[in-house]
Amino acid sequence: MCNVKVTAEKRFAVQQHLSRDKHINGLERNVPNRSEYFLDLTRTFLSCNIPLNKLENPAFSKFLEKYTNKQTPDRSTLRKNYVSICYDETIQMIRSYVENKKLWVSINETTDANGRYVANVIIEVLEKTNHSTIAKVLDKSLSILWPQGIIHDNVLLFLSDAAPYMVKAATSIQTYYSKMIHVTCLAHALHRVAEEIRIHFPNVDELINNVKKVFLKAPSRIQIFKTMAPDIPLPPRPVLTRWGTWLNASMYYCDHFELIKEIINQLDGEDAVAVSKAQNLFSNHISNIYNSIRNFRTEIQKTPNQIGKIIYQKLSTTLNKNKGFKIISNISDILNGQGTTNEIPDDLTANDLAFFKYSPITSVDVERSFSIYKNLLADNRRSFLFENLKQALVVQCNSSECTVEYKCYTQLKMRSLPGGDQFSSGDG
């Protein structure tokens, strides 16, 4: 850009050149004038998750030109010259917002549709998922937040799931973040308890699974169901990776068991395998299934039998492994005028404890953010370069409409804990 040759054998030589006036002046001469309209248009498209190639649609392009009296830009112009500006503005907005505030950080990872390991921290592509990469990506992300140096004492809480590599990563990074408490998600813990319940009720599980298939893509059976049971919804379709859906399905059959049985028996058993299996389950295991579902709620609370004790033990074991939750519980007691400081980390001051009054205990927010990422990386948008994908997601997650009550750091989820400006958790 500045027409100067630089020796690239050492990184220092390049960095030194970038800071010189000759390079800066040359850069300014070569960078085209920025259009405020183009910038606002780019920001709007990114915030609304509208692909930039929509600008190439003749009808849409004519509409914009008619009502704005401005030339519609080419998508490559916006992608090359304006997306990065929107991204830099968003990062600067986040830096200004969290400056000198106490933070909680939540991290999770997933595999996207292209098979890449993606951590929910500024969207980094990982070579693989283990405790080392998670620790590095956290530190790298915080260095983006604090480019002049990470303020380690401002990070008080780290939320994650209970995967062994997450626990190991938290243990390693707590050496540098001495005030940070690591809490594994309580929603994940309860989901594991729900899985334990499902294991001990195989007949209920089989019934739920087959009845779900009976009405899947079957308009004639759905019509029979709506005719015989107009006031209740169709049988739920639990997804095992979604918290509580199997339990909700069990409660559904508990409330409508006899009616569902009557509807299933009205269907032709030779029409589908799922129908015949459901009919056999209703006829052969009526007492076992119905009693299991009917007593489902009370078994968890009152633990009247061996299965209830196993489930209760599973819950106790899960919570006992969550060392950070014990510390948070103790802090809660202290804030309520009870408890002692025996199990509180030494580096935490009395002022720090006050910030934990509204601290979250689940990583639900960071889980929700993956749906934004997956909607952005749709089937017809796989040509996204990862750097462009990251920038688009940062802007979308932090658009002004989203940040009124919820601040997210793309996928590094950060919210100011009480003491500064307070925001409700909301739904993001």
Domain co-membership, 198 together with 301: yes
Q: What is the pLDDT of residue 63?
A: 92
User: What percent of the residues of the chain are helix, what percent strand, and what percent coil, each to the nearest 5?
Assistant: 60, 5, 35
In this structure, is residue 409 part of a structural domain?
Answer: no
Domain co-membership, 202 together with 253: yes
Going by pLDDT thresholds of 50, 70 and 90, the confidence category of residue 1 is low
What would the pLDDT profile of 113-127 be if each residue is shown by its tens digit? 777 777 765 434 444
Final residue before a domain boundary, out of 74, 94, 114: 94
Q: What is the pLDDT of residue 123?
A: 38
The domain total for the chain is 4
Could you tell me the pTM of the whole model?
0.56
What would the pLDDT profile of 365-418 be if each residue is shown by its tens digit? 777 777 777 777 777 777 777 788 888 888 887 775 444 333 333 333 333 344
Final residue before a domain boundary, out of 283, 309, 335: 309
Domain co-membership, 57 together with 134: no
- Do strands 117-119 and 155-160 pair parallel, antiparallel, or not at all (unpaired)? unpaired
Q: Which helix (H) or strand (E) holds 104?
A: strand 103-106
* Nearest-angstrom CA–CA distance, 140 and 144: 7
Rounded to an integer, the average pLDDT of 60-73 is 88
Is residue 426 within 8 A of residue 406, CB to CB? The reply is yes
Final residue before a domain boundary, out of 52, 74, 94: 94
118 phi and psi angles, rounded to 5 deg:
-120, 125
Rounded to an integer, the average pLDDT of 299-310 is 64
Q: How many helices (H) and strands (E) does the chain have?
A: 20, 7
Q: What percent of the chain has pLDDT over 70?
A: 81
In this structure, is residue 395 part of a structural domain?
Answer: no
Domain co-membership, 202 together with 273: yes
State yes or no: pLDDT of 96 exceeds 80.
yes
Q: DSSP 3-state assignment of 118?
A: strand
Residue 392 DSSP code = H
Domain co-membership, 80 together with 135: no
What would the pLDDT profile of 176-216 be if each residue is shown by its tens digit? 888 888 888 877 777 777 777 777 778 788 888 888 888 88
Radius of gyration of the chain, Cα coordinates, nearest whole angstrom: 27
Query: What residues contact residue 349 under an 8 Å CB cut-off, 6+ apart?
Result: none
Domain co-membership, 256 together with 296: yes
In this structure, is residue 315 part of a structural domain?
Answer: no
Structure tokens at 120: 């929910």
* Nearest-angstrom CA–CA distance, 97 and 414: 11
What would the pLDDT profile of 266-275 be if each residue is shown by its tens digit? 888 788 888 8
Domain co-membership, 146 together with 246: no
Q: Which domain holds residue 81?
A: 34-94
In this structure, is residue 69 part of a structural domain?
Answer: yes
What would the pLDDT profile of 132-144 be if each residue is shown by its tens digit? 878 887 887 888 8
∠ Cα 259 265 269 (to 5°): 145
Domain co-membership, 61 together with 123: no
Residue with tokens 């813990």: 189
Going by pLDDT thresholds of 50, 70 and 90, the confidence category of residue 288 is very low
